[in-house]
Structure 1
Amino acid sequence: MRTPSLAGWFLPLALACIPAVHAVEITGMKDFPNLHGRYAPGGDCQRQPRIAVDASGMVFELEGRSERVARLEYAASYGGNFYEGSSQWFFPFGREGVYPVLMTFNADEKPGVLSLTPHDEGYAGGPPLSPRNRALVAGSPYLRCR
């Protein structure tokens, strides 16, 4: 009879201790007034892509077109149970657990900095970023417009 190794016992226990990240669907950004404003590469709102955030949600302006997002996911626990910083994370596109890009407001704990990074698209061996998401990621980091 084979006795389970220490690793055989430790791995399931370790995996059970990893905190889950929970995202909650929200409508609009009315509960996040400190994030309202316009963001663009380098803070220059003459450049695109541009992102506007207000109580009703977000508007993404890219290549002369705009796309309004009112329903999005707020990654309320992304920083972990004891996170006390100023960064806040959102998934503006996707549903049912598949989120192509992650938005981080106050990225690196810097007020007015917004980063967009690949999440469920654009990683090695995974699906490529869509053209829209590739352009949004390429414009990052964004700064609140001057």
Structure 2
Amino acid sequence: AGIVFAAFEMAASAFMMGAEALFMPLRMIGAIALGPEALDPGYPLLTAGIAGVVVHLILAIAYGIVFGEIAAMLRGRAAFIGLGSVFGLALWLVNFYVIAPIAFPWFLQASPVVQFLAHTFFFGTVLGWYLWKSHERSGLEGPAV
């Protein structure tokens, strides 16, 4: 789910702002660890990009674990996908309307529509679908996380 989310973010950025903006989402995420200077075009893209990938994957894994625990009692595709979408929506609301204004204001420059779509559908829905498929393949009573 984290990889699908990142791919959508990067594609949307390039589509909306031009090819030179392709890596801006990774710079923005990398700036969580490196500071706002990582957003500067003069800052090494490789450094900001690697930091962005590492931070993004750590957060995606952590959020996936949290969702897996919440979803442990779910049954059926609709329940997993529906709750995954709601979970993604909640992540968007908390990340962009609580955390970003306080700690990472550069995220407020991102399109709210793109962020809503990315978090709700390209992360949450995909996460719910992935856990449902894991559950289905495992044959266990709960999801395989």
- Range of TM-score over shorter length: 0.3 to 0.5
* Higher share in helix: 2
TM-score, normalising length: structure 2: 0.32
Bigger-Rg structure (1/2):
1
